[in-house]
Each structure stands twice: as C-alpha cells, then as structure tokens.
C-alpha cells in the first residue's frame, strides 16, 4: 500500500511537519538531532502501533505539550494516531487513540494497514547480541502481519508475569502447587502458537535470494505439559518459569572461512566465528528475509525504512542494500552529504528533503 503523506504534530522535535512521500525513494538529509529518526519512528508506529525506541507514549510528545498526532495518508485511507500523557483537559484518557478516515478505531484494527521494514544501526548487533534482541526481532516479524501472533504474545507475556508471582508464592508456602495448573495451561497454549510462527518464519529464510549463503537454526525452549511438570520443582525454587518461548533463540551460520564459497558442511555460528563484516552481512540477510517473508505472506510490498544505516556498511553491502529499493517505496535518512549525493545519482527521480 503506497503512502502519500506524513504529518507530525508535537511529535518529538517536530512541532508541525508535513511531508509528501514519493512513490519510489524519499531521501532525508540532516545533521544529528534534526529529527530524522523521529520520522522513521512515526512511520513504524503508524504501521505497528509500537515505537522502536520509546517505552511510553508520553516520551514521544514534545516537551510541555499535552498531545501529539501522527497522520499517514495512503492511496485509500487516512490513518491517525493520537498520543497523550494519560490526561486530556483534566480527564483521564488512553495513551493512544486510533482513527481511520476520522472514525475511531481499536488499535488492532489500525495496526497493519500498511507494512514497513526498518533497518537501523542498532540492528547491526542482532546476530552477535543477546538472545533477547533476537527474540524481539522474531516478535517484530510476526506481529507485523499476524493478529493471532500479536494476541498470543500479549497473553503469553501477561501469563508469564502472573505465573512467576505464583511460583514465588508457592516457594514461600503462601500458595499450593495446584494454583499453577491454570496458568501452565495458558502458557502452553500461547507458547505453542508463538513457536509455530517462529519456526515457520525461520524456515522460510532458506528460500530468500541473497548473494551469500546463510542459514538460520531455530533453538526453541520447547514447552509442554510434560516438560513443565519436569521443570516445576526447579521453577518453584527459582521463583520463575525456566522454559518456554521467552527462552528461545536462533543461530545464524555461514562458511566463515570463505563467505563467498558457501559450503554448507563448513557452516559455523557467525556470532562466534564470523568477522564483524560477516556479522553485519548476516543482519542484512535477515532483513532481506524479513522483506521477502512479508511479501510472501501478505502479497504486499512493505515500505523499506533505512535509518542512517548506509554509513555503517561496507561498499558491497551498501550497493546490495540500495538494490533492495528497486520497485518499492522507501525512505532513507542520512547525515552524510556524500552518501546523499550517491543516493541521488543512483535514484535520479527521488524526493530529497533537507532538515
């Protein structure tokens, strides 16, 4: 779904910003602190209902302002998200309000109206970073297009919080073990849904075309009634659940001795044995897989948002990344005039905006 315009009011440093979006490539050039990332964040928020850098809605509202607005116009609809600090004109109100064509909607009815894939410098630590970072990536991929996954993720996380409190209460003799049964069943039900989606997504990565061969191996912390019973004495002693999707991980592997050779029998964990350049190339592969998977599942071309990432990549990776922009609506931000000039030469019909 093509986007035509983005309007921001009191969002971060943007008091009143109106951007017409190109059907191909929009290039935003500006120095540090100019608000480039905030524009990417606003598009991501309008697509997913979440921010990739704010824990609370009021963190995105301009200082001393009561509310912020994000408006995105597509070819068919006008999507609006209103952010508050929990109060409007002295009355308690939700932190987020959603509208389509001025009609109030639930968040789940607005999320996913259009698809985006974001590539940020922070993502370059995905392969060699913590398992938590990789789990968040798995969640981001599936929640972007699956309401079922999003519901199960929310329910699983709430169940886990409740179960952990009960495990502590059982350990302290305040509750009998029988109180765990209901919450264990909920954990299993929604945990299995999450792991089925994660397994399907990582399995699909092998179908993605990429200049270098990589593989992604899912490492699920399997959850079942039998395993929960097996681990329950240790979980009670620890005061928290020891198995389940919140312990999942995955490994990206490649022929690290000769990355271009790509011999699968020589594949090793890129996080442990790969060079920094190979690790970054593996992240680029994962982002390419994400684009391809959403296109496969939804038959829709996601908008690609590159937030000041090109300066972090070597020349071959930069060239490949720019090739991903062909045939899709994209937005690139950069603080480098040199990179901006290169992009302008590569895509002569792009729209350039200087902040």
pLDDT value of residue 109: 87
- Which positions of the chain have pLDDT values less than 50? none
Question: Taking the alpha carbons of 252, 271, 211, 122 in that order, is the dihedral positive or negative?
Answer: positive
> Tens of pLDDT along 47-93?
998 999 988 999 999 998 999 999 999 988 999 999 999 988 888 99
pTM: 0.92
Fold of 128-299: Glutathione S-transferase Yfyf (Class Pi); Chain A, domain 2 (1.20.1050)
* Collapsed DSSP state (helix, strand, coil) of residue 215: strand
User: Is the separation of the CB atoms in 282 and 254 below 8 Å?
Assistant: yes
pLDDT value of residue 88: 83
pLDDT value of residue 55: 85
pLDDT value of residue 228: 95
| Every domain of the chain and the residues it spans | 1-115+300-355, 128-299
Report d(CA 313, CA 307) in Å as an integer: 12
**CA 274 to mean position of chain CA atoms:** 24
Report d(CA 222, CA 87) in Å as an integer: 43
First to last CA, the chain: 26
Cα 166 to Cα 103, 161, 189, 221, 224, distances in angstroms: 42, 9, 18, 21, 19
Fold of 1-115+300-355: Rossmann fold (3.40.50)
Q: 188: closest CA among 150, 160, 218? A: 160
Residue 145 sits at the vertex; the CA angle it makes with 308 and 184, to the nearest 5 degrees, is: 110
* Collapsed DSSP state (helix, strand, coil) of residue 25: strand
pLDDT value of residue 218: 98
Sequence-distant (≥ 6) Cβ neighbours of residue 77 within 8 angstroms: 100, 101, 113
């Amino acid at each position: 779904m093509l986007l035509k315009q983005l309007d921001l009011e009191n969002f971060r440093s943007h008091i009143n910003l109106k951007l017409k979006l190109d059907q191909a490539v929009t290039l935003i050039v500006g120095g540090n602190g100019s608000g480039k990332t905030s524009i990417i964040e606003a598009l991501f928020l309008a697509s997913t209902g979440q921010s990739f850098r704010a824990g609370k809605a009021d963190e995105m509202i301009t200082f001393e302002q009561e509310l912020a607005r994000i408006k995105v116009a597509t070819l068919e609809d006008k999507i609006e998200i209103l952010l508050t600090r929990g109060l409007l004109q002295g009355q308690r109100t939700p932190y987020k309000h959603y509208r389509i064509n001025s009609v109030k909607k639930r968040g789940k009815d607005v999320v996913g109206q259009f698809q985006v894939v974001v590539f940020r410098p922070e993502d370059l630590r995905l392969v060699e970073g913590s398992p938590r970072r990789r789990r968040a990536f798995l969640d981001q991929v599936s929640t972007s297009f699956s309401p079922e996954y999003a519901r199960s993720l929310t329910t699983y996380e709430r169940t886990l919080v409740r179960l952990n409190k009960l495990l502590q209460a059982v350990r302290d003799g305040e509750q009998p073990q029988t109180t765990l049964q209901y919450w264990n069943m909920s954990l299993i039900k929604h945990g299995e849904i999450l792991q089925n989606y994660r397994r399907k997504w990582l399995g699909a990565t092998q179908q993605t075309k990429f200049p270098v061969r990589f593989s992604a191996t899912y490492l699920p912390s399997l959850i079942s009634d039998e395993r929960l019973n097996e681990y329950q004495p240790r979980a009670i002693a620890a005061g928290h659940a020891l198995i389940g999707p919140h312990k999942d991980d995955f490994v990206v592997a490649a022929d690290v001795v000769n990355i271009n050779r790509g011999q699968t029998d020589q594949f090793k964990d890129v996080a442990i044995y790969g060079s920094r350049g190979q690790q970054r190339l593996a992240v680029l592969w994962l982002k390419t897989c994400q684009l391809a998977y959403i296109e496969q599942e939804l038959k829709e071309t996601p908008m690609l948002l590159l937030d000041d990432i090109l300066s972090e990549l070597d020349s071959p990776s930069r060239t490949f990344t720019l090739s991903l922009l062909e045939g899709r609506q994209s937005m690139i931000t950069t603080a480098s005039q040199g990179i901006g000039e290169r992009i302008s030469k590569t895509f002569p019909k792009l729209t350039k905006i200087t902040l």
